[in-house]
């Protein structure tokens, strides 16, 4: 690896820790970010010359703090901090610095930084944008491209989010166990939002598609800090298992391919293995949760060598567990697909009939209902349901998929 590639990788992986610690020192997001950027510039100059520091995050934190204090012209009043030339070699100074920043501080710092980004006052789109900017360090143009909006609109969105967070006050006290659990849950939800933004992209190689990788990276970071949290294992497993199907989810023309029609040979096995291993670990802890159950469902799909081998009875049972844990008509709708496989389309229709009012504006409800009706040979009702679905489609790919159903209905009438 060249110097620059190595440094780039080290800076990217040290960023959340470094920005988080600098935020604790300065208690100001903008100042923390500037300090981190300053430290990165110095690293680019210094590291090729003096070799990599043993703990890049500790180096960046010290140098960043030093630089920011310098900038604010308060340096003279502070204790002299060592110059980065002195702390770049693998000497005692760095050890001392690393000791001052013990592991527990790091954990709470990074969690605080992630938690700030999912402040309840922020709408979901601002949470995700702020996290990608602050924690992941993506540039505003990169984020704008990922969200398919203009750069100035994204700049505004992030500025507004920062202002709101600053106004709301940042929680700097060390969280107690209850706070920590709540923060973890909000952070997990925010990371899954980032993932779903990427998952909805038709082109996995696009900026938007790369959000999946970023979400997985953030979940790995969280799991490294909280290695015994089954829901974080579940979240990472769920994303890995879904991401494993990425190459099979769209055909050459960019049309969505249904799970049962996907080429399972191009699913990424290493991601599946890791996902299954994490579920295996989580189950042992006997603290079930929504991400673990969703991951277990994805895991059953991943284990099936062909669509015909899918264990629908177990999937039905898992969806029932999910319904009990977090009742939602959308979960019942998903369960209906398993019920249709197990007990036929009529049973599925009966299950979703009570949802008609609540899901009247939901694309997937009409799509699934149309498919069940079509299977029962109730073609004119099916056509009506498919037309409602098309009217509610969010993307051209969704609409195109429903049109395929309508085409086969038209053909069966002709034939």
- Binding region for other proteins (CB under 8 A): 9, 12-13, 213, 217, 220, 223-224, 227-228, 236, 268, 270, 273-274, 277-278, 280-281, 284-285
Q: Minimum CB separation from other proteins for residue 48, in Å?
A: 18
Q: Minimum CB separation from other proteins for residue 213, in Å?
A: 8
Count of alpha carbons within 13 angstroms of residue 162, beta-carbon side: 18
What distance in Å separates the CA atoms of residue 330 and residue 319, rounded to the nearest whole number?
A: 11
User: Looking at beta carbons only, is 277 or 353 nearer to other proteins?
Assistant: 277
State both tokens at 221.
């970071």
User: Looking at beta carbons only, is 144 or 272 nearer to other proteins?
Assistant: 272
User: Looking at beta carbons only, is 71 or 266 nearer to other proteins?
Assistant: 266
User: Looking at beta carbons only, is 72 or 228 nearer to other proteins?
Assistant: 228
Cβ atoms of 263 and 248 within 8 Å: the answer is: yes
Q: Minimum CB separation from other proteins for residue 354, in Å?
A: 38
Whole-angstrom CA distances from 51 to 2, 3, 82, 99 are 12, 9, 17, 21
Count of alpha carbons within 13 angstroms of residue 398, beta-carbon side: 19
User: Looking at beta carbons only, is 158 or 191 nearer to other proteins?
Assistant: 191
Phi, psi (deg, nearest 5) at residue 256? -65, 140
Q: Minimum CB separation from other proteins for residue 112, in Å?
A: 21
User: Looking at beta carbons only, is 213 or 375 nearer to other proteins?
Assistant: 213
Q: Minimum CB separation from other proteins for residue 228, in Å?
A: 4
State both tokens at 65.
């703090």
73: left (phi > 0), else alpha (psi -120 to 50), else beta?
Answer: left
DSSP conformation class of 256: B
C-alpha 138: how far from chain center: 14
User: Looking at beta carbons only, is 67 or 278 nearer to other proteins?
Assistant: 278
Helix axes of 151-168 and 29-50: crossing angle, nearest 10 degrees = 110
Q: Minimum CB separation from other proteins for residue 74, in Å?
A: 35
Q: Give the residues across from 250 on adjacent strands.
A: 256
Count of alpha carbons within 13 angstroms of residue 227, beta-carbon side: 1
Q: Minimum CB separation from other proteins for residue 352, in Å?
A: 34
Q: Minimum CB separation from other proteins for residue 109, in Å?
A: 18
Tabulate helix, strand, coil % of the chain (nearest 5).
75, 0, 25
Length of the chain: 415
User: Looking at beta carbons only, is 233 or 336 nearer to other proteins?
Assistant: 233
């Amino acid at each position: 690896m060249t110097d620059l590639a190595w440094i780039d990788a080290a800076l990217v992986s040290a960023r959340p820790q470094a920005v988080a610690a600098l935020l604790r020192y300065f208690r100001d997001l903008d100042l923390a970010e500037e300090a981190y950027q300053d430290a990165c510039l110095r690293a680019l100059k210094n590291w090729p010359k003096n070799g990599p520091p043993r703990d890049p995050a500790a180096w960046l934190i010290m140098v960043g703090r030093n630089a920011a204090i310098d900038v604010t012209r308060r340096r003279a009043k502070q204790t002299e901090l060592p110059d980065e030339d002195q702390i770049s070699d693998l000497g005692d100074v760095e050890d001392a610095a690393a000791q001052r920043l013990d592991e527990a501080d790091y954990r709470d710092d990074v969690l605080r930084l992630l938690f700030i980004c999912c402040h309840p006052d922020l709408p979901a789109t601002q949470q995700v944008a702020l996290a990608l900017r602050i924690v992941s360090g993506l540039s505003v143009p990169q984020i704008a491209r990922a969200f398919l909006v203009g750069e100035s609109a994204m700049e505004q969105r992030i500025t507004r989010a920062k202002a709101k967070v600053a106004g709301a006050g940042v929680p700097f006290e060390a969280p107690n166990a209850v706070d920590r659990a709540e923060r973890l849950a909000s952070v997990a939800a925010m990371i899954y939002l980032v993932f779903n933004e990427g998952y909805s992209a038709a082109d996995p190689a696009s900026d938007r598609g790369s959000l999946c990788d970023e979400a997985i990276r953030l979940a790995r970071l969280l799991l490294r800090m909280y290695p015994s949290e089954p829901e974080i294992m579940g979240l990472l497993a769920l994303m890995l298992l879904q991401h494993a199907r990425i190459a099979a989810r769209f055909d050459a023309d960019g049309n969505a391919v249904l799970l049962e029609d996907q080429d399972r040979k191009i699913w990424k096995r290493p991601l599946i293995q890791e996902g299954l291993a994490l579920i295996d670990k989580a189950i042992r802890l006997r603290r079930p949760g929504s991400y673990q159950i969703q991951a277990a469902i994805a895991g059953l799909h991943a284990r099936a060598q062909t669509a015909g081998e899918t264990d629908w009875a177990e999937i039905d049972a898992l969806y029932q567990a999910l319904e009990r844990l977090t009742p939602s008509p959308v979960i019942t709708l998903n369960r209906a697909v398993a019920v249709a496989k197990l007990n036929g389309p009529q049973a599925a229709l009966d299950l979703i009939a009570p949802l008609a009012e609540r899901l009247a504006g939901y694309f997937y409800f009409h799509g699934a209902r149309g498919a069940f009706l079509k299977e029962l040979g109730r073609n004119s009702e099916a056509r009506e349901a498919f037309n409602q679905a098309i009217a509610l489609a969010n993307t051209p790919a969704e609409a195109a998929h429903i049109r395929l159903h309508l085409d086969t209905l038209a053909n069966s009438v002709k034939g």
